[in-house]
Copies of this chain bind each other. A is one copy, B any other.
């Protein structure tokens, strides 16, 4: 898929120095003699997917928050887990999360903010894909654990440090944005200072918005208006705001999003599991840029953009009883070009076109019974194919995975360490999981 949304049958992509030089029916005379030529016969070459909402630091917590109510999830599982996660745990958590993303064809992601930005940065440097990092900030609200509470100025100061250290690192693969957790825990002062800094630095803000019903009730009681209307009134809506979830957004608030070109990250898995169903067809109809995210391992639990594209295409048909809602071609755009717009990176990634970075994946649909036969390749990519069909992943002109082997890290070693550290974190956090069935040990 190129910038004009065209599909080339038996086409090619010429990559030089990490950039796409030409796409389509490549002129053989323009191919340098020493170029490596890769036969992708029978396979699909397409832009790398962009995951616009994923918690790297939560990867070791997969399975800690299933089938419990929201308060148990937060107080007895997530906060104890976060408190017990060391910077080095977070490094391994981030590597493991990048592994899963690479295997599902992701070449760029946006992180809403963990505590340990430095070890996330190190992991992304090594993993070889693009990451937009942020730090989670909480400066107000009830029930915040002591270790996580800071003043608005402290929040801003810490983020400036991270920006200075990491923005533009790894040959430009890493960018740093401002992280805002939710309106429950972010004062207007912090929101506005974040907006000011984001504008000054030319970066974005990543915030959970209209996530749960209780948030709307809280915003009305605490700030006088529902979340989005309130953000509009204080001047926090703009094209560099990436609003995540937006399950409980109203039609009036969608109009505000369109007016201010606010970007949306739709996370259908997390929404199905906990939040409710976001009005995605309604947002797309208004022309709002809706992208797709996986959210974190304890609330989805698949960090897999092909599964999220599948859910995005399916869930809104069932909800609206309209089987034409959110068709496959829209979903593919949401996972690629819309992801690039949402991450303010559309000048560099999101489609295969000359001048953009060589972020691409090769997919083999023809060798798996789950995606055969192919009548409609775009439909199969979205409705039938699983990420196990992703064969190779290139980011910034470098192979990150080739023939299903991840080249930037020792997968087995990372997974082993992830398991060990996950067990240790759970133990330190004192998290007890109920037995779902009686377990008998010798």
Contact = CB atoms under 8 A, between A and B. Distances in A.
Interface stretch (A33-41, A49-57, A200-208, A374-382): A374-382
Contact of A304 (B24, B301, B370): B370
A140 interface: no
B274 A317 contact: yes
Interface in A84-116: 96, 99-100, 103-104
Interface string A1-16: 1001111111100000
Contacts of A439: 6-9
A63 interface: yes
Contacts of A300: 383
Contacts of A327: 66-67, 436
A314 B272 contact: yes
A287 interface: no
Contact of A9 (B274, B411, B442): B442
Chain A, interface size category, equals 35 or more
A106 to B, nearest CB: 12
Given A314-B273, A379-B67, A373 B323 contact: no
A252 interface: no
Contacts of A68: 323-324
Given A273-B314, A369-B103, A213 B321 contact: yes
Contacts of A426: 375
Interface stretch (A153-161, A226-234, A342-350, A417-425): A417-425
Contacts of A103: 368-370
Contacts of A318: 271-277
A262 interface: no
A42 B69 CA distance: 31
A315 interface: yes
Interface in A120-146: none
A397 to B, nearest CB: 24
Interface in A348-393: 366-376, 378-380, 383-384, 386-388
Given A7-B437, A437-B329, A442-B9, A64 B383 contact: no
A327 B67 CA distance: 5
A433 interface: yes
Given A100-B370, A318-B274, A369-B100, A376 B63 contact: yes
A366 B415 contact: yes
Interface in A57-76: 60-64, 66-70, 73
Contacts of A423: 373, 375
Interface string A251-280: 000000000000000000101111111000
A438 interface: yes
Given A272-B315, A304-B386, A386-B387, 19 more contacts: A6-B439, A7-B437, A8-B439, A9-B441, A10-B441, A24-B440, A25-B442, A62-B375, A63-B373, A63-B380, A63-B383, A63-B384, A66-B376, A66-B379, A67-B328, A96-B369, A277-B318, A378-B436, A378-B437
The 7 closest A-B pairs by CB, nearest first: A373-B422, A67-B327, A272-B318, A329-B436, A99-B369, A63-B375, A100-B369
16 contacts: A7-B439, A60-B373, A62-B372, A62-B384, A67-B327, A67-B328, A70-B323, A100-B370, A273-B317, A274-B317, A275-B318, A303-B370, A369-B411, A372-B415, A375-B433, A378-B437
